[in-house]
Amino acid sequence: MQHLTLAASLSAAVLFACILYAESADLNSDKQALLAFAASLPHGRKLNWSSTTPVCTSWVGVTCTPDNSRVHTLRLPAVGLFGPIPSDTLGKLDALEVLSLRSNRLTVDLPPDVGSIPSLHSLYLQHNNLSGIIPTTLSSSLTFLDLSYNTFDGEIPLRVQNLTGLTAILLQNNSLSGPIPDLRLPKLRHLNMSNNNLSGPIPPSLQKFPASSFLGNAFLCGLPLEPCPGTAPSPSPTSPPSVPSKPKKSFWKRIRTGVLIAIAAAGGVLLLLLILVLCICIFKRKKRAEPTAASSSKGKAVAGGRADTPKEDYSSSVQEAERNKLVFFEGSSYNFDLEDLLRASAEVLGKGSFGTTYKAVLEDSTTVVVKRLKEMVVGKKDFEQQMEIVGRIGQHQNIVPLRAYYYSKDEKLLVYDYVPSGSLAAVLQQSYWKSCTGLGDESEDISWCGSWTCSSSRRGRREVHPWEPQIVEHPSVTEP
């Protein structure tokens, strides 16, 4: 009996060891595939990928499964990748679900093994220089396909008809030709095939989409565009021939000229009154805004404004031409761009004299704090100099570091680490609780420990103080 028990225990141990080895081997194969990809493809922004660092917690742009056994997301937007995508690298990531290599300078064909990753459901390759035909071996798990702003040619593969899970197909601004397949995809909600060389009638299954989805294809016809040549309109139901009615004299022709002049004059007067009322409203609004702006900028080297609407989205006035200009500081491990930040869900954390603070959660669950300085009037050069100073100050242990910033004429954004404990005081108190009291129980006397926390916060203040009033007050240092 003891022999049987011992044998069962050994079998269980061997099985457990095999499972651990298999998981380790899978993650190690993912790691080797990513290292081969980085080594074969030049990139402008240096990646911190190394064989000596853990993939799931240290590598920029890489997200693993919850149990850290496989790589399931790879996001490398606008990192300066240049050249063809090497085959037999990314295609080995057979647990990959999201791949984003948009806004780089990738060239030549898309390797078939990349689009055919079995678990891949989102593929973002827009704004590159990829060419050749679209692979016919696309994964049946795809739900979002964006190949826009490349130079793909040839016909749209019929394989797309079988991707019944697709919700978005974005192929605009390529060189695709030939007819559009009849894509009977029940979940399709977003479609754009504009600015290609497509020809022939638009299939009935796609006529529900707006004309903007097909513009820029000179030889496309049918709804929602112009009818195809030689297509007769459907006959109407049989009806008795209409008897020509006696033409009636136009109503307006029967109105006297004097009445028309009076109506025109009244309309002109009404228009002038509306313009006058509008000017008065604008003038009063400016008069009300001037005292607020003056009081908020008093004593500051740089004038700043307070947002009036707490629900205002920090991305509302960022112009399309100024996107992808998020500036990261050295030492930051974040790897997202402005477009990712603007798509993030935002929650207002507070408002101050320099703007509104938001908690932003990105698509890959990265959480940051965004400080919006919308009404600040400062030149770009001065703003960048101030941000460099704030970035250096942020290296102090008692100050939350500034990770990135964005500047435009109408919008300034600051990006900080999100501190889930709530405030700097809470973090300082939690981090050094045991070293202060030696008790580990917050119910005990905390008077001198609280004084230590205040002292730490004041040390952060003193670190900032020598730079005032050269810079905007650091928004992450507050007394407990």
Cα distance from N-terminal residue to C-terminal residue, the chain: 66
Helix (H) or strand (E) holding 335: none
364: Cα separation from own chain's centroid: 10
* Residue 85 neighbours by CB distance under 10 Å: 24
DSSP structure class, residue 334: -
Instruction: Decide: helix, strand or coil at residue 407.
Output: strand
Sheet of strand 122-124: strand arrangement: 62-64, 71-75, 98-100, 122-124, 144-146, 168-170, 190-192
Distance of alpha carbon 83 from alpha carbon 305, whole angstroms: 45
- Residue 253, annotated as binding a ligand: no
Distance of alpha carbon 169 from alpha carbon 77, whole angstroms: 19
Q: Which amino acid is it at 405?
A: Y
C-alpha pair distances (Å), 14 with each of 6, 25, 28: 12, 16, 20
Q: DSSP for 256-272, please give it.
A: -HHHHHHHHHHHHHHHH
Distance of alpha carbon 124 from alpha carbon 401, whole angstroms: 31
Q: DSSP for 169-193, please give it.
A: EE--SSEEEEPPP----TT--EEE-
C-alpha pair distances (Å), 193 with each of 199, 209, 330: 11, 11, 40
Residue 288 has phi, psi (to 5 degrees) of -70, -30
Q: Which amino acid is it at 464?
A: V
Binding residue ranges: 380
Binding residue ranges for ATP: 380
